[in-house]
Amino acid sequence: MKIYFASGNTHKRDEMARIFPNHQVVIPLDEGIDFDPEETADTFFGNAYIKAESLWKVVGQPVLADDSGLCVDALGGSPGIKSARFGSEGGKNLDSSARNDLLLSMTSSLDNRFCRFVCNMVLYLGPERFYSVQETLEGELLRESRGKGGFGYDPIVFVREFGKSVAELSADEKDLCSHRGKAGRAISRLLEQVSSK
């Protein structure tokens, strides 16, 4: 099955392609589709749903969308749904490195380092037929960046079960434990059930 993934992020597309090896995963950019819906919801589910529904209205085929972010306990769950826009002022977004530096500086004096990546994923098959899954990757904020892999906040989140930052994990390790990997596998199981009916 061809699945449209409602994102402009090629890193996420590649992760989804690994998680859905029996399906063709494409993003709007791959097919020259201009896609940038306004994410106005106040939950991960709400924003994932907005993206999924918006792309489905364009392509009329199964759409997968996710909204994800990093939630830091000591910051009351921030940056949360604003993770990609964290620290942005005047409409100018910071790059990943600058966002990471800002977050580390804001939490430098805090002892509570617990955090989690959250991913809500929506499989949208039509206006009355969609599925949603939300998963987490529990971690701890490091005090400096470690590792060159992954993207976003990966270099500053430590995964105790592996003894590494997310950016130090291999692709297989990350897919096994990540919020997006867990949500994707759950959606994949749902998709197989849907496809067989």
Q: pLDDT tens, 46-93?
A: 999 999 999 999 999 999 999 999 999 999 999 999 998 898 876 778
Q: Write the pLDDT tens digit of every residue in 130-165.
A: 999 999 999 999 999 999 988 899 999 999 999 999
Nearest residue to 103 (alpha-carbon basis) of 139, 60, 55 = 139
Q: What mean pLDDT is predicted for residues 5-28?
A: 90
Q: Which domain holds residue 48?
A: 2-195
The confidence score (pLDDT) of residue 58 equals: 96
Distance, CA of 25 to CA of 184 (rounded, Å): 12
Confidence of residue 22 (pLDDT cuts 50, 70, 90): confident
Phi and psi based region of residue 117 (left: phi greater than 0; alpha: psi -120 to 50; beta: remaining): beta
Give the type of residue at 137: L
pLDDT of residue 191: 83
Q: Give the phi and the psi of residue 169 in degrees, each rounded to 5.
A: -75, 150
Identify the pLDDT of residue 12: 85
State the Rg of the chain over Cα: 17
- So which residues are the catalytic ones? 67
Interacting residues of 91 by C-beta distance below 8 A, sequence separation 6+ = none
| Residues 98, 162: Cα–Cα separation, whole Å | 26
pLDDT (0 to 100) of residue 87: 87
For residues 147 and 116, what is the distance between their CA atoms, to the nearest angstrom?
A: 18
> Which of 12-16, 23-27, 134-138 is predicted least confidently?
12-16
Domains: count for the chain: 1
Comparing CA positions, the residue from 42, 46, 2 lying closest to residue 24 is 2
Question: In the predicted model, what is the mean pLDDT of the chain?
Answer: 93
**Residue 113: closest CA among 45, 149, 165:** 165
pTM of this structure: 0.91
- Assign residue 146 the CATH number of its domain: 3.90.950.10
* Residue with the two structure tokens 């434990």: 177
